[in-house]
Structure 1
């Protein structure tokens, strides 16, 4: 945890600036293009497969990405508030398209090669990792947006990793209870990752379900209550597993098993972030502030 530090409560270099010059805008957009490295690698791998040889070499960009994160290069500058939004929004939509394409092409590839093949392992690592940040990180951004279709798109991305309830729990639960014993997504002091994982996975789903039941009028309503027809967590659960069943029907059992594995890998990455982000922190104030999260200054991670 040497690279992690408490999120800063004081201004940093460049923080608070309202003006972004053209050069600064271009530089930041170009740096943000680094987020395409793994999704494009995944796309090229699944689109051009099956591969006669050298399957393992496709993992090189993933290994280099991990190495870059340990390079020690940091960036603590805050972006100007006046940066134009459209290039970054365009990048978000591009990542959404890549995520969907990568999954569909991966299903096709696994259907061709069979499950017990090196292509499956590489596809899980590449596409699953890409699902973790091209899918979940983009979804996290979108579910916080105020535009309805963007929030819906965020839920679709979460559904592609069988984790739609995150959209409910994260926005309406985690943001309210972060750093408190009531938050299933806050790791406790001394808690191991696997202990956290065993607690947070069912805990977040149960919390999301209760939040929806409360919205519908009764936090303790039974599952067979007619009001549950309006339960968004139930809607997401049905939709994501209907999609998974469709994968099995169209592409076969091998593709279905791959879908489960890439989703599990992506969710594990998400919960790794949750684990480190709030590990051992206890909120002392009534409102959440920057000291309630751990942060990293790794330049590569930022993009």
Structure 2
């Protein structure tokens, strides 16, 4: 078996090789260029917006059918052209975010473009985390700071601490919240890893400052990098709200959420089911893929085994090791499998682990039937635990709700409708001339009036003046409500 110190013979540098390799890596500009094209040509009719899916579909097909990129990196490859590409991708990320908030501040959120924001711009933000990941592994402090700033724009700066000091040290162990367990579904992994990674990062940072149990009000907290990331990340978000309005704010939060979902989908399949059997990280503790597009279009991400063995190795120098388990398709196809066909992904991955004798399988050559039987057993146990937790949660929620007095229940429902309606109108209009609280007051006036007029009309109809006159009284009351609302709020 290859060890962490194993060497792979690299090809020698041939004339023109640098330019050819660099040009292939320019494929990484696909998502930024597609996002900018979308933002610079909008707003779009729904049928025009849908056309921006066609290039993404083409990339999906390419990524799922290109499985032959096993060439080792060229020896003595100069770093500067590839560093320049990383810096270009970084600059494009910030440009796209600016264009994103400008775009949606001008046209509002609720449109066909919102769907494409989810699919195109959100995907680009997820791709940008790959660039940030490359930067935070660099040795120069300013490059690490640049990577952290990129993570702040998706509200996930704690990834810097957890990934470098947590994940890389504990990958493939039960202590690593970013390693998906054998048989664990993506939804279960996401619910577990999101809070667990933040908690891990917080503990690691508190330990760095000298006291894992220090109070939030300890003066040393001023040096806490997790707090710095929260302040900067949400500071940027609220600056977007203040300068560009509610629609831009909603779009900004949506791109961050999509980026996080994509990042954790990648985390999910990069180590799914693997269990480290030695103290030192080896090449069998990560999944690789031979997809051409994933390697060149996602800055070397396909060679994850070498990255974990040598985290400081730049993306253009990552190597292929035959010992690593191999995903059947590239990262684009794997993300699709995780989101849309999670059971199918787990089935394929379990068979691969059984064949190689990795994860829960002690020896190689495990049959498909045995591998799938083990997977089924684990999945049934996970489903039982999930259903028990859901039932317990519903029971607690129902019990808590029943303790709330009926008038308070009505008030809570009314408040939820009021806030939701007001927020929706504010986002759609970009705020307009009326502030949030003024609009909330107007909506409360309208909803409250309806809550009085409707039962009053019914009472008059059944107990006093009859059906038709009651409608006349109700219309008169609504007219009075309209006149009063106009006088108060406009």
Residue 185 of structure 2 is matched in structure 1 by 192
Residue 64 of structure 2 is matched in structure 1 by 70
With structure 2 as the length reference, what TM-score do the two structures score? Answer: 0.58
With structure 1 as the length reference, what TM-score do the two structures score? Answer: 0.93
Question: Which of the numbers 45, 53, 59 marks the counterpart of 2:53?
Answer: 59
Question: Which of the numbers 218, 224, 235 marks the counterpart of 2:217?
Answer: 224
Deviation at 1:224, TM superposition (A): 1.7
Helix, strand or coil for the counterpart of 1:290?
A: coil
Structure whose CA Rg is larger: 2
Deviation at 1:124, TM superposition (A): 2.4
Are 2:78 and 1:46 equivalent residues in the alignment? no
Residue 27 of structure 2 is matched in structure 1 by 34
Question: Which of the numbers 124, 131, 134 marks the counterpart of 1:130?
Answer: 124
Residue 98 of structure 1 is matched in structure 2 by 92
Would the aligned equivalents of 1:136 and 1:157 in 2 still touch at CA under 8 Å?
yes
Would the aligned equivalents of 2:67 and 2:289 in 1 still touch at CA under 8 Å?
no
Cα 1:81–1:205, aligned 2, differ >3 Å: closer, same or farther?
farther
- Which shows bigger deviation, 23-32 or 242-251? 23-32
Question: Which of the numbers 108, 122, 132 marks the counterpart of 1:114?
Answer: 108
Residue 3 of structure 1 is matched in structure 2 by none
Residue 17 of structure 1 is matched in structure 2 by 10
Matches within 5 A, 1:207-218: 207-218=200-211
Helix, strand or coil for the counterpart of 2:52?
A: helix
CA distance in 1, matches of 2:2, 2:150: 32
Would the aligned equivalents of 1:15 and 1:80 in 2 still touch at CA under 8 Å?
no
Deviation at 1:67, TM superposition (A): 1.2
Higher relative contact order (CA 8 A, sep 6+): 1
Helix, strand or coil for the counterpart of 2:134?
A: helix
Matches within 5 A, 1:163-202: 163-202=156-195
Would the aligned equivalents of 2:237 and 2:252 in 1 still touch at CA under 8 Å?
yes
Question: Which of the numbers 133, 147, 153 marks the counterpart of 1:160?
Answer: 153
Question: Alpha-carbon deviations, 1:194-249, whole Å to 9, x = none?
Answer: 10000101011011110110000101112121111110010001100000000111
Helix, strand or coil for the counterpart of 2:78?
A: coil
Gaps of 5+ in 2: 297-490
Question: Alpha-carbon deviations, 1:94-132, whole Å to 9, x = none?
Answer: 101111111110111111121101112112211111111
When the two chains are superposed, the root-mean-square deviation of aligned CA atoms in Å is: 1.7
Deviation at 1:51, TM superposition (A): 2.9
Q: Which has the higher helix share?
A: 2
Gaps of 5+ in 1: 1-7
Residue 301 of structure 1 is matched in structure 2 by 294
CA distance in 2, matches of 1:15, 1:258: 46
Would the aligned equivalents of 1:125 and 1:262 in 2 still touch at CA under 8 Å?
no
